[in-house]
Structure 1
Amino acid sequence: MKVGFISDTHGSESRWMLAYNKYFKDADVIVHAGDVLYHGPRNPILPDYNPAKLAEHINAVHCPVIICRGNCDSEVDQLVLETPIQVPYALAFVDGRRIVVNHGHCCMSNEEKDSLAKAMKADIFVSGHIHTNVLEKRGETVFLNPGSPSLSKREDEKATVAVLEQDVVRIYDIDADEVLMELKI
């Protein structure tokens, strides 16, 4: 089973397509941790900002897409997305694992995330919002932030997504096709 993880696309059609074509086209499930279509008032408008076209691409995906609402997502986005935007978290059972997704803007600290992960009995806890990567195991839970393919806030500004395959989570630089982080679960 292959699971793709993405967050904070912010309406960037080309960055979604790059991530999808390189990493997700053969995925069984794609998990989006929020901030899907809108660029957000503090973010620059991206050169390829096209939320309507991005919604079309997401609607055309061959596998289920699980979306958790981010702070830049709105009810109006649901009018163009066929997949429900779930709030305040999304819950999925994939290949025997309980995956909990929360965008992260209402659950920022590790203590808050640990508490929610414990309450939800999460095997994998996915968040976004900060546009930087997290991949670590605390207790029995893997905590993952795939970063952003379009508005990276990493020091090196690498655009990233994550993939779970064969019990290994990898975070990729989607431009260099390089593994930046890896964790066996």
Structure 2
Amino acid sequence: MRISIVSDTHGYFGAWDKLYREYLQASDLILHAGDVLYHGPRNPIVAGYNPQKLAEALNQCSVPVIIAQGNCDSEVDSMVLAMPIQSPYSYVVINGMRIVVNHGHTFKDEEALFEAAKHFKAHVIITGHTHVARLNKRDGIIHLNPGSPVRELSKREDGRATLATLYNGKLTITDVDSGSVIQEELITGGM
């Protein structure tokens, strides 16, 4: 099973369209860690911002999408999407692997994040919010932030747009534009 993991699309249809054509349509499942449609008051509006068109694309997506609510997602966003925006967590079990998705904006620090993962007995906890892709492991739990697939919103030092994939027991963070692997981690337990 191929699971694609994204976050912080913030209404940018152009980025989603490229992402879907080049990566997501080959997936069996898409996990979205929130901030789906609205750009939010802290983010600039750049070319490709079209939340209505992104909502239509999500509604027509042939791949199932599970969304955890971000701090920029509101009830009105839920009204235009065919799938629910789950709050505050999405919880998925696939082949015995427990995956928790939360936008991440409510965790005061990384310690609190890992404590939540332990509470849910998660193998993987996925967050977004920072627009910075990262992958780290502590006490057998993997924390993944897929970053943002919108280059103009990336807060990485190198400015790269990113997504993550879980496939064949490996979590991979990929540069959306070049397709190059930025970071990867083997997963134990489940998958």
Short-chain TM bin: over 0.9
Number of equivalences: 185
Q: CA deviation at 1:108?
A: 4.0
TM-score, length-normalised on structure 1?
Answer: 0.97
Q: CA deviation at 1:70?
A: 0.4
Given candidates 166, 180, 183, the residue that maps to 1:181 is 183
Partner of 2:134: 134
Among all aligned residue pairs of Structure 1 and Structure 2, give the percentage whose two residues are the same amino acid: 51
Please report the RMSD computed on the Cα atoms of aligned residues, expressed in angstroms.
0.9
Unaligned runs of 5+ in 2: none
Q: CA deviation at 1:104?
A: 0.7
Consecutive aligned runs of 4 or more in structure 1 exceeding 2 Å deviation: none
Partner of 2:69: 69
2: CA distance, partners of 1:175 / 1:13: 16
| Alignment partner of 1:53 is 2:53 | yes
Residue identity matched to 1:17: D
Partner of 2:163: 161
Q: What whole-Å deviation, never above 9, does each CA across 1:61-90 have from its counterpart, x for those lacking one? A: 112211000001100001111110011111
1: CA distance, partners of 2:17 / 2:139: 35
Unaligned runs of 5+ in 1: none
Partner of 2:120: 120
Q: CA deviation at 1:56?
A: 0.9
Q: CA deviation at 1:59?
A: 1.1
Q: CA deviation at 1:95?
A: 2.8
1: CA distance, partners of 2:31 / 2:130: 17
